[in-house]
Amino acid sequence: MPSGAPIPPLVSGASPRRGPGGRVTRERGDGGDPVGSSLVSTRAAQVHRHGGDVVCAVRGLTKTYPAVRGRRGVPATPEVRATDDVALDIARGEIFGLLGPNGAGKSTLVRQMTGLMRPDSGSVEILGHDIVRHPERASRILAYLGQESSALDELTVSLAAETTGRLRGLDARQARAERDDVLDELGLAALASRPLRKLSGGQRRLACFAAALVGERPLLVLDEPTTGMDPVARRAVWSAVDRRRAEHGTTVLLVTHNVIEAETVLDRVAVLDRGRVIACDTPNGLKEQVAGEVRVELVWREAAPLHVPEVAALRDRAVESGRRWTLRLAPEEARTVVATVTGGAAFAALDDFTLATPSLEDVYLALGGAVRQGLVKA
């Protein structure tokens, strides 16, 4: 089947079976690998069989929101370049992250990659299909968990998952079987009969993630999937993702501004700032760019004691956030600063201090990211 050919609704000869953990998978009638509910093209089949192939290729993706003139009671807004000549390659089976502060262009980029927004220029190819020219094909080859759940809020947890499966081409029996398996896997069976709108924020987010998993797709696009979740729910999410990577070679695109999560789960990460990709590498690879620095955080009891000359001299180099000062220094200089503030006149004003190796936030700032925006550490 050539790239761009019609996408069949189900794999030829597919039949349901119970896989590891009791979950329903579908098996090629010819004895091939387990796959999701659509085999999208010859290239897609090759990607499924051979690890390391590019699942998603983005080239020159640009989107500009035009300026809006002000009206009575509504201020004018300037032109905004939401994505600026973005280029990315995402390989089969990896968890690829988009990291950046609020307003960096992450969600706009994802909406273009999933066919929900047309870019001004550039291309998005997923498993051999041009998503800019054929946005309707995106829903057949990827599962998208956005930041909003309003479309599902009136449904029960059970019905939201089952309905998603039916919309993705499963018959009623398959949809119910996958629904039950996913709810059990994520610990949601006890909440199955409750409407999403009556759940807590973290529970609602987990229920929406469960719905995204029903009717498996080769690409999972997750926009801040663990927002509001407790540690147990977060572990359930990433265990489910890891299981699908191991069993089906599922690829994941994760949007986050959570530094800790990014450093823990991502294989590679693209750092975005004002619509541009300013770096792309493994988390460790990015942190090596600032390996010669140490992050020093000073927390003052009230205000910083600027009457102390040694403290006043640090102010121009510190990023201030309330009572917290953050400095990025060479190791020897960091030791000198700590000795100065803990052994001199500044000590009485000091509430706490930490020394830490660089994080992805340090990389972001070192590469020229907006200092005032920052990233979320936890």
On whether both 265 and 314 belong to a single domain, the answer is no
Give the pLDDT score at 113: 97
Q: Print the domain residue range for 349.
A: 292-357
Indicate whether 317 belongs to any domain: yes
Q: Tokens in use for 256?
A: 């986050």
Tell me, what CATH number does 339's domain have?
3.30.70
Please give the angle made by the CA atoms of 165, 167 and 172, to the nearest 5 degrees. Answer: 55
Q: Has residue 321 been placed in a domain?
A: yes
Residue reference for tokens 């409750």: 194
Query: Residue 90: what pLDDT?
Result: 97
**pLDDT of 236:** 96
- Boundary-marking domain end, from 285, 314, 339: 285
The answer to whether residue 341 is domain-embedded is yes
Per-residue confidence (pLDDT) for residue 275, from 0 to 100: 93
Query: Residue 170's pLDDT is what?
Result: 96
pLDDT at 218: 96
Kindly state whether residues 279 and 312 are assigned to the same domain: no
Instruction: Note down pLDDT in tens along the chain; length 378 residues.
Output: 444 444 433 333 333 334 434 444 443 333 333 333 333 333 334 334 444 599 999 999 999 999 998 888 888 889 999 999 999 999 999 999 999 888 889 999 999 999 999 999 999 999 999 999 999 999 999 999 998 877 888 999 999 999 999 999 999 999 999 999 999 999 999 999 999 999 999 999 999 999 999 999 999 999 999 999 999 999 999 999 999 999 999 999 999 888 888 888 999 999 998 999 999 999 999 988 877 888 899 999 988 999 999 899 999 989 898 999 999 888 889 989 999 888 888 898 999 999 888 888 888 777 766 544 555 544
User: 120 and 251, same structural domain?
Assistant: yes
Residue 12 lies in a domain: no
Q: What is the pLDDT of residues 290-321, one digit of tens each?
A: 778 888 999 999 889 999 998 999 999 898 98
- At 160-206, the pLDDT tens digits run 999 999 999 999 999 999 999 999 999 999 999 999 999 999 999 99
Please report, for the domain that includes residue 190, its CATH number: 3.40.50.300
Let me know whether 118 and 261 are in one domain.
yes
Q: 207 with 262, same domain?
A: yes
Instruction: Verify that 197 and 160 share a domain, yes or no.
Output: yes
**Residue 121 and residue 157 in one domain:** yes
Q: Are 277 and 327 part of one and the same domain?
A: no
Residue where one domain finishes, among candidates 228, 263, 285 = 285
Say if residue 60 is in the same domain as residue 204: yes
Residues 138, 215, single domain; the answer is yes
- Residue 14 resides in a domain: no
Please check whether residue 242 lies inside any domain of the structure. yes
The domain total for the chain is: 2
In a domain, 23, yes or no: no
48 part of a folded domain:
no
| Same domain, yes or no: 226 and 256 | yes
Task: Let me know whether 90 and 135 are in one domain.
Answer: yes
pLDDT score at 52: 58
